[in-house]
A and B are shown apart, each in its own frame.
Chain A
Amino acid sequence: QQQVKQSPQSLIVQKGGISIINCAYENTAFDYFPWYQQFPGKGPALLIAIRPDVSEKKEGRFTISFNKSAKQFSLHIMDSQPGDSATYFCAASIFNSGYSTLTFGKGTMLLVSP
Protein backbone atom coordinates (compact mmCIF):
# COMPACT_ATOMS: atom_id res chain seq x y z
CA GLN A 1 0.00 0.00 0.00
CA GLN A 2 1.51 3.27 -1.10
CA GLN A 3 0.82 5.83 1.57
CA VAL A 4 2.04 8.86 -0.38
CA LYS A 5 1.05 9.11 -4.03
CA GLN A 6 2.99 11.57 -6.19
CA SER A 7 2.21 12.88 -9.65
CA PRO A 8 3.20 13.43 -12.36
CA GLN A 9 6.00 10.93 -12.82
CA SER A 10 7.78 13.36 -15.12
CA LEU A 11 7.30 16.97 -16.11
CA ILE A 12 8.69 19.26 -18.77
CA VAL A 13 8.36 23.00 -18.22
CA GLN A 14 9.61 25.95 -20.22
CA LYS A 15 12.07 28.27 -18.58
CA GLY A 16 10.20 30.90 -16.66
CA GLY A 17 7.11 28.75 -16.28
CA ILE A 18 5.51 27.28 -13.17
CA SER A 19 6.23 23.69 -12.21
CA ILE A 20 3.54 21.97 -10.16
CA ILE A 21 3.95 18.60 -8.46
CA ASN A 22 1.18 17.01 -6.47
CA CYS A 23 1.07 14.54 -3.61
CA ALA A 24 -1.76 12.82 -1.78
CA TYR A 25 -1.56 10.91 1.46
CA GLU A 26 -3.77 8.42 3.24
CA ASN A 27 -2.63 8.38 6.84
CA THR A 28 -4.30 11.25 8.69
CA ALA A 29 -1.72 10.92 11.47
CA PHE A 30 0.95 12.41 9.19
CA ASP A 31 1.81 15.90 10.37
CA TYR A 32 5.08 16.82 8.70
CA PHE A 33 5.43 17.12 4.94
CA PRO A 34 8.84 17.89 3.43
CA TRP A 35 9.90 18.14 -0.18
CA TYR A 36 13.34 16.98 -1.27
CA GLN A 37 15.30 17.79 -4.42
CA GLN A 38 17.74 15.24 -5.80
CA PHE A 39 20.26 15.67 -8.60
CA PRO A 40 21.64 12.60 -10.40
CA GLY A 41 24.22 10.76 -8.32
CA LYS A 42 23.61 12.94 -5.26
CA GLY A 43 21.70 12.58 -2.05
CA PRO A 44 18.35 14.33 -1.56
CA ALA A 45 18.40 17.86 -0.19
CA LEU A 46 15.59 19.37 1.84
CA LEU A 47 13.83 22.04 -0.16
CA ILE A 48 10.90 23.13 1.97
CA ALA A 49 8.57 21.57 4.54
CA ILE A 50 5.15 22.28 5.97
CA ARG A 51 2.96 21.25 8.88
CA PRO A 52 -0.82 20.88 8.53
CA ASP A 53 -1.63 23.88 10.67
CA VAL A 54 -0.85 26.19 7.75
CA SER A 55 -2.23 26.09 4.22
CA GLU A 56 0.73 27.58 2.43
CA LYS A 57 4.43 28.15 2.92
CA LYS A 58 6.69 30.08 0.61
CA GLU A 59 10.47 30.16 0.44
CA GLY A 60 11.85 32.09 -2.49
CA ARG A 61 10.53 30.57 -5.72
CA PHE A 62 9.24 27.46 -3.93
CA THR A 63 5.76 27.25 -2.41
CA ILE A 64 3.97 24.39 -0.69
CA SER A 65 0.18 24.42 -0.75
CA PHE A 66 -1.53 22.18 1.75
CA ASN A 67 -5.16 20.99 1.77
CA LYS A 68 -5.81 19.06 4.96
CA SER A 69 -9.41 18.10 4.17
CA ALA A 70 -8.41 16.67 0.80
CA LYS A 71 -5.22 15.14 2.21
CA GLN A 72 -3.21 16.69 -0.55
CA PHE A 73 -0.19 18.94 -0.82
CA SER A 74 1.69 20.34 -3.74
CA LEU A 75 4.96 22.01 -4.66
CA HIS A 76 4.97 25.03 -6.94
CA ILE A 77 8.21 26.24 -8.48
CA MET A 78 7.78 29.74 -9.84
CA ASP A 79 9.96 31.10 -12.65
CA SER A 80 11.40 27.63 -13.25
CA GLN A 81 15.04 27.57 -14.34
CA PRO A 82 17.14 24.93 -16.11
CA GLY A 83 19.06 24.52 -12.84
CA ASP A 84 15.85 23.31 -11.24
CA SER A 85 15.96 20.20 -13.44
CA ALA A 86 16.10 17.38 -10.91
CA THR A 87 13.97 14.73 -9.29
CA TYR A 88 11.61 15.93 -6.59
CA PHE A 89 10.27 13.75 -3.81
CA CYS A 90 7.44 14.55 -1.45
CA ALA A 91 7.38 12.81 1.90
CA ALA A 92 5.36 12.58 5.06
CA SER A 93 6.01 11.61 8.64
CA ILE A 94 4.52 11.77 12.10
CA PHE A 95 6.37 14.41 14.10
CA ASN A 96 7.62 13.62 17.55
CA SER A 97 6.49 10.04 17.48
CA GLY A 98 8.89 7.79 19.26
CA TYR A 99 9.68 6.09 16.00
CA SER A 100 9.44 8.64 13.26
CA THR A 101 10.29 7.70 9.68
CA LEU A 102 9.71 9.39 6.36
CA THR A 103 7.35 7.89 3.80
CA PHE A 104 8.38 9.01 0.32
CA GLY A 105 6.45 9.46 -2.86
CA LYS A 106 7.81 7.84 -6.00
CA GLY A 107 9.35 11.03 -7.30
CA THR A 108 8.87 13.45 -10.18
CA MET A 109 11.57 14.02 -12.74
CA LEU A 110 11.45 17.70 -13.73
CA LEU A 111 13.09 19.01 -16.87
CA VAL A 112 13.13 22.75 -17.43
CA SER A 113 13.86 23.51 -21.04
CA PRO A 114 15.92 26.63 -21.87
Chain B
Amino acid sequence: GAVVSQHPSRVICKSGTSVKIECRSLDFQATTMFWYRQFPKQSLMLMATSNEGSKATYEQGVEKDKFLINHASLTLSTLTVTSAHPEDSSFYICSAKYLGIETQYFGPGTRLTVL
Protein backbone atom coordinates (compact mmCIF):
# COMPACT_ATOMS: atom_id res chain seq x y z
CA GLY B 1 0.00 0.00 0.00
CA ALA B 2 0.82 3.75 0.05
CA VAL B 3 1.99 4.02 -3.54
CA VAL B 4 2.80 7.39 -5.10
CA SER B 5 3.33 7.79 -8.83
CA GLN B 6 4.79 10.60 -10.88
CA HIS B 7 4.42 11.42 -14.54
CA PRO B 8 6.44 11.87 -16.60
CA SER B 9 9.54 10.10 -15.32
CA ARG B 10 11.75 12.10 -17.67
CA VAL B 11 11.16 15.27 -19.63
CA ILE B 12 13.38 17.31 -21.90
CA CYS B 13 12.23 20.74 -22.93
CA LYS B 14 13.51 23.87 -24.56
CA SER B 15 14.36 26.95 -22.55
CA GLY B 16 11.37 29.21 -22.10
CA THR B 17 8.72 26.51 -22.22
CA SER B 18 6.56 25.31 -19.33
CA VAL B 19 6.52 21.79 -18.00
CA LYS B 20 3.88 20.10 -15.85
CA ILE B 21 4.66 17.21 -13.53
CA GLU B 22 1.89 15.14 -11.99
CA CYS B 23 1.98 13.41 -8.63
CA ARG B 24 -0.69 10.88 -7.72
CA SER B 25 -1.42 8.86 -4.61
CA LEU B 26 -2.72 5.57 -6.00
CA ASP B 27 -4.20 3.82 -2.99
CA PHE B 28 -4.80 6.46 -0.36
CA GLN B 29 -6.16 9.95 0.01
CA ALA B 30 -3.30 12.38 0.40
CA THR B 31 -4.30 15.25 2.63
CA THR B 32 -0.86 16.79 2.23
CA MET B 33 1.60 16.59 -0.64
CA PHE B 34 5.15 17.86 -0.78
CA TRP B 35 7.43 18.80 -3.64
CA TYR B 36 11.19 18.40 -3.40
CA ARG B 37 14.10 19.17 -5.62
CA GLN B 38 17.29 17.14 -5.59
CA PHE B 39 20.58 17.95 -7.29
CA PRO B 40 23.09 15.16 -8.03
CA LYS B 41 24.61 13.64 -4.92
CA GLN B 42 22.76 16.07 -2.69
CA SER B 43 19.94 15.84 -0.21
CA LEU B 44 16.30 16.60 -0.84
CA MET B 45 15.33 20.24 -0.69
CA LEU B 46 11.71 20.95 0.19
CA MET B 47 10.16 23.38 -2.26
CA ALA B 48 6.57 23.56 -1.08
CA THR B 49 3.81 21.91 0.89
CA SER B 50 0.26 21.71 -0.33
CA ASN B 51 -2.96 20.67 1.34
CA GLU B 52 -5.90 19.63 -0.77
CA GLY B 53 -8.01 22.59 -1.74
CA SER B 54 -5.61 25.16 -0.28
CA LYS B 55 -2.85 27.29 -1.68
CA ALA B 56 0.60 25.82 -1.46
CA THR B 57 3.06 27.06 1.12
CA TYR B 58 6.46 27.69 -0.40
CA GLU B 59 9.81 27.46 1.31
CA GLN B 60 11.99 30.52 1.54
CA GLY B 61 13.80 31.21 -1.70
CA VAL B 62 11.39 29.25 -3.92
CA GLU B 63 9.69 31.41 -6.52
CA LYS B 64 5.93 30.97 -6.34
CA ASP B 65 5.35 32.33 -9.83
CA LYS B 66 7.91 30.02 -11.35
CA PHE B 67 6.90 26.80 -9.61
CA LEU B 68 3.11 26.63 -9.68
CA ILE B 69 1.59 23.96 -7.47
CA ASN B 70 -2.00 22.78 -7.63
CA HIS B 71 -3.46 20.21 -5.24
CA ALA B 72 -6.89 19.94 -6.77
CA SER B 73 -7.94 16.61 -5.30
CA LEU B 74 -6.99 14.17 -2.57
CA THR B 75 -5.07 12.07 -5.05
CA LEU B 76 -3.46 14.56 -7.43
CA SER B 77 -0.99 17.39 -7.16
CA THR B 78 0.77 19.08 -10.06
CA LEU B 79 3.95 21.11 -10.28
CA THR B 80 4.32 23.41 -13.26
CA VAL B 81 7.73 24.85 -13.97
CA THR B 82 7.00 27.99 -15.93
CA SER B 83 9.42 29.48 -18.45
CA ALA B 84 11.97 26.82 -17.64
CA HIS B 85 15.68 27.58 -17.93
CA PRO B 86 18.72 25.29 -17.84
CA GLU B 87 19.28 26.06 -14.17
CA ASP B 88 15.87 24.49 -13.44
CA SER B 89 17.21 21.14 -14.63
CA SER B 90 16.97 18.83 -11.66
CA PHE B 91 15.31 15.76 -10.16
CA TYR B 92 11.87 16.67 -8.84
CA ILE B 93 10.28 14.35 -6.31
CA CYS B 94 6.86 14.51 -4.71
CA SER B 95 5.68 12.87 -1.53
CA ALA B 96 2.31 12.41 0.07
CA LYS B 97 0.89 11.71 3.48
CA TYR B 98 -2.55 11.20 4.90
CA LEU B 99 -4.21 12.66 7.92
CA GLY B 100 -2.97 11.42 11.27
CA ILE B 101 0.02 9.57 9.85
CA GLU B 102 3.46 11.15 9.92
CA THR B 103 5.05 9.01 7.22
CA GLN B 104 5.68 10.60 3.86
CA TYR B 105 5.55 8.28 0.88
CA PHE B 106 7.68 9.35 -2.03
CA GLY B 107 7.11 9.13 -5.74
CA PRO B 108 9.76 7.80 -8.14
CA GLY B 109 10.83 11.27 -9.23
CA THR B 110 10.91 13.22 -12.50
CA ARG B 111 14.14 14.09 -14.24
CA LEU B 112 13.78 17.50 -15.90
CA THR B 113 16.35 18.61 -18.45
CA VAL B 114 16.05 22.08 -19.91
CA LEU B 115 18.08 22.69 -23.05
**Residues on A facing B (Cβ under 8 Å):** 32, 34, 36, 41-46, 49, 89, 93, 95-96, 99-102, 104-107, 109
Contact = CB atoms under 8 A, between A and B. Distances in A.
B104 interface: yes
Contacts, number: 50
Say what secondary structure dominates the interface of chain B.
strand
A104 B43 contact: yes
Interface of B: 4, 6, 34, 41-44, 46, 49, 57, 91, 93, 95, 102-109, 111
Contacts of B34: 101-102
Contacts of B57: 99
Nearest to B100: A96
Contacts of B49: 99, 101
B106 A45 contact: yes
B43 A105 contact: yes
B102 A43 contact: no
A44 B93 contact: yes
Contacts of A95: 102
Contact of A44 (B41, B42, B106, B111): B106
B28 to A, nearest CB: 14
Contact of A43 (B42, B43, B103, B109): B109
Nearest to A9: B41
Contacts of A93: 102
28 contacts: A32-B102, A36-B106, A41-B111, A42-B108, A43-B4, A43-B93, A43-B95, A43-B106, A43-B107, A43-B108, A44-B44, A44-B93, A44-B106, A45-B106, A46-B103, A49-B102, A49-B103, A93-B102, A96-B102, A99-B57, A101-B34, A101-B49, A102-B104, A106-B42, A106-B43, A107-B41, A107-B42, A107-B43
